[in-house]
Amino acid sequence: MATKEAFLTTVREALAKGGQTPAILVPEVDVIQNATDLRKGLAQRKDALLSQLQKNAVLQEWNVVTVGSEAEARDAVVAIAKGLDADLVVRTSHPMIERLGLDEALAASSIESVLLTSRSGNLAPDRLQDIAARADIGITGVDYVIAETASATLVSRKGMTRMSSLLPPVHIAVAHIDQVVENLGDLLTLREAELAEEDAPNWYMNLVSGPSKTADIEQTIVIGVHGPGEVHLVIITG
């Protein structure tokens, strides 16, 4: 493994050769193994992490629902939509949401569900934005949930748009207990391992920590000015 002095020596030698690009030595770190070890540790602390998440989610004004299965998660999402008298919801193509079969369940309750994706061939970007702005609810899956800050993490992926979580006045996020990490450091460790195996690494992530808030107006906290004013987190424990 390269030491600090070896690193500096490499830089000095490169500069002495007339400013050629230095062959910087990067310490070898087994990011894959680090992530594997971390996942094992998180799996052993599921109950404690869920308890920590639920406590902090209340402080961040999340409405948290825990369910035992994907079928129960689907029913919980539909119940929230019906309770809000929603007519139109938009959703992402995240694998978690795709597995729930929400479109049919919502349709059975006379609620229209529209998939928002940047790869949609029949809807222009401005049309997608208009639909998202008119929607009563935006439904997304998440990639990770940080227990320490009660933050739902959405990783940017090709074809997926953030409008579902940003434009509607209500956001429903669906996650599995296996996606819960303790802190931001855990999240970065897992993402680093994922990026090491991706052809086109992308560090961009969107973190949602409760409803949108601002204090720009006379230093008074106002909810929902720049995004959803109501957020729900449905966690599948089974």
Each domain of the chain, given as residue ranges in start order, spans 46-236
Q: List the Cα angle 191/94/51 in 5-degree steps.
A: 65
pLDDT, residue 28, reads: 45
Return d(Cα 137, Cα 63) in angstroms, integer: 14
Question: If we measure between CA atoms, which residue out of 78, 188, 109 comes closest to residue 143?
Answer: 188
Return d(Cα 179, Cα 192) in angstroms, integer: 15
**The tokens 């195996």 sit on which residue?**
197
Let me know: does 205 contact 154? Beta carbons within 8 Å: yes
pLDDT, residue 1, reads: 43
Return d(Cα 121, Cα 10) in angstroms, integer: 51
Going by C-beta distance under 8 Å and a sequence separation of 6 or more, which residues neighbour residue 134? 88
Phi-psi region of 85 (alpha: psi -120 to 50; beta: other; left: phi over 0): left
Return d(Cα 210, Cα 61) in angstroms, integer: 6
Signed CA dihedral, 123, 129, 134, 137: sign only:
positive
Return d(Cα 106, Cα 78) in angstroms, integer: 6
How does pLDDT run along the chain (238 residues), one tens digit per residue?
445 566 556 556 665 655 554 444 444 468 889 999 999 999 999 999 999 999 999 999 999 999 999 999 999 999 999 999 999 999 998 999 999 999 999 999 999 999 988 655 556 667 888 898 999 999 999 999 999 999 999 988 776 778 888 899 999 999 999 999 999 999 999 998 988 887 766 778 889 988 855 545 554 444 445 568 899 999 999 9
Return d(Cα 42, Cα 34) in angstroms, integer: 12
Hey, what CATH class is 46-236 in? Answer: alpha beta
DSSP state of 232: E
Q: Which alpha helices (DSSP H) does the chain contain, by range?
A: 4-16, 31-44, 46-59, 70-83, 95-100, 102-107, 125-134, 163-166, 184-196
DSSP state of 179: G
pLDDT, residue 219, reads: 47
pTM confidence score: 0.80
